[in-house]
Amino acid sequence: MAVEYQQVPSGRRRRNLLVWGVSVLLVATLIAVSASVAVALWSSGPVSSDLLVGDFESTIIGRCKAYLAKNKEDSSKNDCEEVWKAFSGAYLGKDPCEVSVEAYDPLMRAVSERPACDRMLFWSKTRDFVHDFTAKTKCQLTLEDTLLGYMMNDQTYWCSEKGSSVTFTEKGKCPGWDECERNPMKSFWKRASAAFAESACGDVAVMLNGSIDTPFAPDSIFASVEVKKFHSPKMKALKVVLVTKGKDDKANCKNKSLQNLKDALDPRLSYECLEVPQSKIIDCTSHPDKACGNCW
């Protein structure tokens, strides 16, 4: 069967050609603009998600609000937006290797929290173990269980650049813990640790690792920062909980480094060291109804 074609009037054909031409031009313009943006972004290096949508700020403020919701009695006076301003003000616009410990002083003043007298637990070389213990028993409180510690726990990198108002959170962009002494992360944890230790009151404990040669390591934050802030009469005693595993143990309460700890303390503070099997503490975490003192 022959196919019959209908002739299109010349006026309509010209209008169709005009619409088609404008559409092609619009598409070509959009492609050119997209390509230009892509080239600009590529030439300036990788762009982190926090640069685009403020993920880091929203994460920290979100953690702050979550903490306050769970700890209304001890921390209700805090304003998370003001806390963020004080925190970010410590490092924004600065060389990432020139953020001093003192830069976080305004943050310490911006946070109000009731001290947990007789419940404060410090640690060194026992991070995961001690946090598992506090999470399951709720008996004692580490720095990471306070507002600032909860906000920043597991936040590995944050920094800015000189003259910049942008926060970076990438490994290649921000210095690691040991890459320079005055990096934002190390300075923050030193200042927060000092504040936590300064608030120590009543009977205080520290959980140390009996499986290493030097449980009280001089370069640890506990030794270099926190112990220096323990003072009587607000604080009364320090109890060392030396966690032991049996055959892998390399230290006991007679370890030279623990004698150094005793010597470094305010002489008015009482000192006690207990060698506690790891299995005993694990048993406590499995039975959170036990009295906390029975764990060691």
Of 196, 87, 189, 104, give the one whose Cα is nearest residue 141: 196
Of the candidates 97, 180, 201, 292, the residue annotated as catalytic is: 201
Active site annotation includes 139: no
Of 180, 174, 147, give the one whose Cα is nearest residue 158: 174
DSSP run (H or E) holding 63: helix 55-70
What is the token pair recorded at 101? 């410990």
Of the candidates 117, 180, 253, 292, the residue annotated as catalytic is: 117
What is the token pair recorded at 145? 């269980």
Residue 27's alpha-carbon distances to 15, 30, 35, 39, in angstroms, are 19, 5, 12, 18
Say whether 239 sits in a helix, a strand or coil. Answer: strand
Dihedral pair phi/psi, residue 25, rounded to 5°: -65, -40
Quote the CA–CA distance of 118 and 261 in Å, as a whole number: 20
Residues 6+ apart with CB under 8 A from 165: 92, 93
Active site annotation includes 201: yes
Residues marked active site are found at 117, 201
